[in-house]
Structure 1
Amino acid sequence: MTDRRLGSGTLVIATHNAGKLKEIGALLDPYGVRCISAGSLGLPEPAETGTTFVQNALIKARAAAEASGLAALADDSGLSVAALDGRPGVYTADWAERQWFEGAPGRDWYMAMGKVEGMLAEKGDGVDRSAAFHCVLAIAWPDGEHAVYEGTCTGTLTWPPRGTLGFGYDPVFVPTGAEQTFAEIAPEAKHAISHRADAFAKLVAAQFGA
């Protein structure tokens, strides 16, 4: 971890997702940061071999920084369920990947939500349904320095899924203090309390604060 600051200039966002680049770019634009994606630079996506969100975020940020010669930002996020010993965790997206016998390749988030619910149901009616979304933002510089910011949003899991506004596990996640799921809450309201918002607030405070 370092106290180093980004300042204005170009930052590589370690993603091949245009939507994620746009979202992060909009958040950092007020601070004079120009964001470009690893995909636009033709950089390969590294294998995410870590066992924690921090490890995977750093793998992606370091790979982009070393390949581009510029500072790079990566994120890694997912859902942890208390009664499942923190699973799916770093495998949050993997649980939605269809196997060969489950249809065409791609992600099936309803199937993923069903896997979680099925495992909870096996533990009985009194099972602890608490869960949390986690987001880790990692900044890496080409010389090896790095900074990490972690955000969390706690809540409970409900069943059946409710709402159509979110994605992933949002239809079964009710944030602490709310009655609606993430998929029933307006996007701007969700973004104000989400795990990603928490992590970005910490990044902005450290990198651009007084």
Structure 2
Amino acid sequence: MNSKNIISLHTGRPQIRKFSDYVMKTAIGKEAQDFAELRVEGFSGDGQANLKHHGGPDRAVCFYPFEHYSYWEKMFEQALSLPAFGENATVSGMLEDDMYIGDVISMGDAVVQICEGRIPCATVSMQNNQPNFLKKLLDTGYTGYFARVLKAGIVEKGSEVVLLERKQETVSVLYANLVMFQDRDGEQGARTVLEAEGLSDEWRNKLQKRIL
């Protein structure tokens, strides 16, 4: 498996932002950090504006693969500045197709478990001034993903990410995303993702409704 590490680390508090004629409170505009303390609720100095749809223990860390940046830059013919997706950790060697629901990984002194794909919102489109960005994210499944904290600790930019345990090898983050966003494999797809150990309660509840 390819070497994994944190290319860039980011945190940020919610701020009032103006996108064209739309004003909103959002924490998507995070700032680069050399290190940050990761706790069960997330990184110190980090926060979310809409706590109904963002944040919580199962969304303590947001990852986004660095390799996707060149893909999007080519598609939209524009440069993207990290973190274009409001992620905490821009990572290499950790594509959605390489990481699995339930994966337990260490980074710095902390240990986390991947538990759901990211469900992006239109703020990503506004942040990058591309109205179609959200749709393209959902079409590809290149949304990034979230993890819960199993052990708190200090995480540094450049930290190596080590896979400690893989709970299952059926449901990658990408497959889970395609099931959630595109109804891949219909009811059976939902059942398959539901069997993945470590899946977040929110995703479990959403998918359970498809098979009742």
Do these two structures clear the TM 0.5 threshold for a shared fold by scoring above it? Answer: no
What is the TM-score with the length of structure 2 in the denominator? Answer: 0.25
Flag the structure with higher strand content: 2
Task: State the structure with more CA Rg.
Answer: 1
Flag the structure with higher helix content: 1
